[in-house]
Amino acid sequence: MQAEPARPLAVMLYVLLLSLIPAAGWSTGLWLFGNETNVGRGAQISGVGQIAYHGLLAAAGFVLWVVLCAATLVALARLFGAAHDWARALQVAAYSATPVALAGLLLIQPNLLSVLIIAFFYSLYLQYAGVQHVLQVKEGAAAEYVALSTILLSVLSTAIGALGGWLGVL
């Protein structure tokens, strides 16, 4: 059985559409409950413009997270004997992020944020399976590959978040 060819534009369209779910959940939550979670340095959210801005930030954050995840998979590919293929790494990152995006709808209610952790762990499992089947990583190395990729992704996203906070964007 031959693997389907990777189509980066189709995958990115999928990611963009998927990013609308957490954006809609976050925006709706801000509209219904205001700023109960003290997001944005405790500033009060008021007006449709600010709600839309925060929704766009949620969507952009999700897209950036998927792209950074693919970048970490490509950057670490040679260490684990994985296929050094951007398009396939993007496929793994996008499809493994689906549970987190779907759970992003729960951002409507600030008290349900902990459920996203369950979705995140399921996405790690999907990434574990994906790197084996799509990137051709051996089963013994797949867990380490996903763990190291997740650590690198955490460092990168923290640095970008800090930069965004320093610039006043977040």
CB atoms within 10 A of CB 151: 11
CB atoms within 10 A of CB 38: 10
Distance CA 94, CA 99 (A): 10
Distance CA 26, CA 23 (A): 5
Residue keyed to tokens 């801005």: 53
The per-residue pLDDT string of the chain (170 residues; one tens digit each, 9 = 90 and over) reads 345 666 889 999 999 999 999 999 888 888 887 765 555 444 556 678 888 888 898 899 999 999 999 999 999 999 998 888 999 999 999 999 999 999 988 888 867 778 888 999 999 999 999 999 999 999 999 999 999 999 999 999 899 889 888 887 76
CB 62 within 8 A of CB 18: yes
Distance CA 94, CA 20 (A): 14
pLDDT digits (tens, 9 = 90+) for 103-124: 988 888 867 778 888 999 999 9
- Looking at residue 2, its pLDDT comes to 45
